[in-house]
Structure 1
Amino acid sequence: MKNALLSSLRRDGVVLGLAALMFVIVAAIMTAKGIDLNFSSIRANAQVMASSVLVLVVIDLVTGLAIARPEWPIAFLRQRYLSARTIRFAIGGLPVLAVLIVFLPFYSKMKSMIPLLNEYDWDPVFIRWDRWLLGQDAWLLLQPVLGYPILTSAISACYQIWILLLYFGCLLMCYHPAAADVRQRFFLVYLASWGVIGAGLAAAFASVGPCFLEPLTGNPAFTAQMEYLRSANEQFPVFSLKVQDLLLTWFSRDERGLGSGITAMPSMHVAVAFLYVLACWNISTRLRVATTAFCAVILLGSVHLAYHYLVDGLVSIVVVSVLWWLAGRLPVRSG
């Protein structure tokens, strides 16, 4: 067991090093701003991750039994889950798993601190950029195609499903053999994206996005879009509206728990979705198609649901592409 853990530490050393550096930076900024370093939300995130592990194990158990149809199921399961090889395999992913459990609460703290670091004054710039690129607001361009309540509801559901990428997706990238060749590269870019895009650029170009523009800045530029979303919600549930209301409540209370904070530029939803496109591109054709389609829905949905301007997602795609290229220049370590 000790050898398995040491091997995983050697293999994932560069990922763990990046995570440690980011933790130190965030902790230093929080200390400088007088923010409490209490991360009680780590427990909540650990519970979500543990539940995700349990779900994946149950799925594997059921499919394993269905495919093998063993004469002695108990012996089959004991060999599958309690063998020395399986235990070594599980231990090998624990360091990265620990980083994933601790990392999101750190990011949420940093995201919620953005008003302490910069004013939310970039929205007018990004509105002009969208109008320069498209000739009008992006949501108006999409409205003739996406502006049907049932379609809006479906897009909103997909936007909520995105969170599975942070748990089930990361677990599969950590443990699935098919992802072994891109594992290090994926987690390097995953962590760097949260730091560079979700914290650094978000603080430098602080903006709230269309849905929060009027409540937080008094600018009514997207009132019509929000009126459409609320009217659509009367026919089919638009889940994003409840999330937006919750984020506003947390913001007004200055809460810094898991998932809190308001930022628009760049879009982490698009960044993470596009990272999966890059990571899965050469694994299989089906995954390539599925991740690309999902990323497209997230990009369009981020605009249609009033979370983001189109340029938020486009910048994320460019930055993730650069980070992916840079991570690919590093030597890959095997376990």
Structure 2
Amino acid sequence: MKRLATIILERIRQHRHFIIYVLAYMIALIAVCAWLGTYHMISFDMYEVLPLTAVLFFAAVLLGRYLNMALVTRPRPLLSHMRADFKVLFEERFLTGLPILLLLPVFMSAFTAFKSLIPVMNPYTWDPALYRLEELLHGGYQPWELLMPLLGYPAVTLTINFIYAAWLFTMFMVVYWQAFSLSNPVLRMQFFLSFVLCWSLLGSGMATIFSSAGPCFYERLLGLDAYQGLMQYLQSVDEQHPVWALSAQDMLWKLYELHKLALGSGISALPSMHVSSALLFALVGVRTHWVPGVALSIFFVFILVGSVHLGWHYAVDGYVAIILTLILWRLAGIWAGRLPLGEGRILD
């Protein structure tokens, strides 16, 4: 028991900067809600399923190792090797990931609350400016119009819709992978520091300053049909096969009208956190191995294109997210490189 307590305290020490940042973000939410008088929007338990699914993920990995021992390597005595393997995995991997797995759901719950408060703190006013900026940057055209000759086919749209919907699953898998990873402590911490920096500074701070709803909500918000062509196309595809993005957009708008906080609630366009987080996945993948690097880079491109094609975001939302995420990634690398994490190096 003393050994276990020592290991847990060491893991807390290694993650102390991450822990302090998350606690500061929680305090910021409480302070904002006190300022606005919206105490009912304080929530830290909307993503409580994350630790449970992480345990299941770890158990699946453990089962795979045990099956490999029993059927392939067959060490003798088998049970002794299994017990020793479990002890190493539990102490080195599971307890290393525990601070992340306990605090990240709290952080994401606070983020959801912050996102739902954006129109309360600063009503949506930037959409017309972003619409004009889109045309200015793209030769007088809207980006969705430029993409339509390439993507405007039901099969292509449904493929993009499927991959875009897989974003949440992909995020969980990358988070679990890095939470339990021991191969490069600096890269691991760089990822998690980048993660909380991007979601808080970009997804909460910048999103509040440049409060905007996005193309799919343009008509509902402003009464203008600037994106009618795109939305009519998506609805025509939806009549044949479900376009999940449309039902998700309807759900978010209803929650917005009801001023209700729920899992995944909140509307915000600039910057795109789907693009920002997908870029983080690609960056950590590229710096680990070429296989996850290629796979997650392709996923990032689909998210970037899909954010425009499915009406979620202006292309500018993605451009800004990419630039600022790369900056925060670099800063997080410098930060992580100065922490006592073990072997590793600062990564660009």
- The alignment's TM-score, normalised by the length of structure 2, stands at 0.89
Determine if contact 2:54/2:101 at 8 Å carries over to the other structure.
no
Deviates more, 1:205-214 or 1:252-261: 252-261
Equivalence for 2:117: 113
Determine if contact 1:7/1:92 at 8 Å carries over to the other structure.
no
Question: Which SS does the other structure have where 1:141 is aligned?
Answer: helix
Q: Which runs of 4+ in 1 moved over 4 A?
A: 37-41, 71-77
Pick from 322, 332, 335 the counterpart of residue 339 of structure 2: 332
Equivalence for 1:217: 222
Equivalence for 2:292: 287
Equivalence for 2:63: 61
Task: Give the 5 Å matches for 1:61-80.
Answer: 61-62=63-64, 64-66=66-68, 69=71, 70=74, 77-80=82-85
Check 1:179–1:67 CA distance in 2 against 1; reply closer, same or farther (3 A cut).
Answer: farther
Check 1:143–1:35 CA distance in 2 against 1; reply closer, same or farther (3 A cut).
Answer: same
Determine if contact 1:41/1:257 at 8 Å carries over to the other structure.
no
Number of equivalent positions? 333
Question: Which SS does the other structure have where 1:169 is aligned?
Answer: helix
CA drift of 1:296 comes to 0.5
Check 1:158–1:36 CA distance in 2 against 1; reply closer, same or farther (3 A cut).
Answer: same
- The alignment's TM-score, normalised by the length of structure 1, stands at 0.93
Instruction: Say whether residues 1:170 and 2:172 are aligned partners.
Output: no
Question: Amino acid of the residue matched to residue 28 of structure 1?
Answer: A
Unmatched tracts of structure 1, length 5 or more: none
Higher relative contact order (CA 8 A, sep 6+): 1
Equivalence for 1:202: 207
CA RMSD of aligned residues (A): 2.0
Task: Give the 5 Å matches for 1:14-25.
Answer: 14-25=17-28
Q: Counterparts of 1:57 and 1:236 in 2: how far apart (Å)?
A: 36
Check 1:141–1:182 CA distance in 2 against 1; reply closer, same or farther (3 A cut).
Answer: same
Check 1:104–1:129 CA distance in 2 against 1; reply closer, same or farther (3 A cut).
Answer: same
Unmatched tracts of structure 2, length 5 or more: 343-348
Determine if contact 2:41/2:113 at 8 Å carries over to the other structure.
no
Instruction: Say whether residues 1:100 and 2:104 are aligned partners.
Output: yes
Check 1:222–1:14 CA distance in 2 against 1; reply closer, same or farther (3 A cut).
Answer: same
Task: Give the 5 Å matches for 1:126-145.
Answer: 126-135=130-139, 136-145=141-150
Q: Counterparts of 2:88 and 2:245 in 1: how far apart (Å)?
A: 45
Check 1:210–1:74 CA distance in 2 against 1; reply closer, same or farther (3 A cut).
Answer: farther
Sequence identity percentage: 33
Question: Amino acid of the residue matched to residue 210 of structure 1?
Answer: P
CA drift of 1:138 comes to 0.5
Check 1:2–1:37 CA distance in 2 against 1; reply closer, same or farther (3 A cut).
Answer: farther
CA drift of 1:16 comes to 1.2
Question: Which SS does the other structure have where 1:163 is aligned?
Answer: helix
Equivalence for 1:298: 303
Q: Counterparts of 2:78 and 2:57 in 1: how far apart (Å)?
A: 19
Determine if contact 2:96/2:179 at 8 Å carries over to the other structure.
no
Equivalence for 1:12: 15
Determine if contact 1:150/1:236 at 8 Å carries over to the other structure.
no
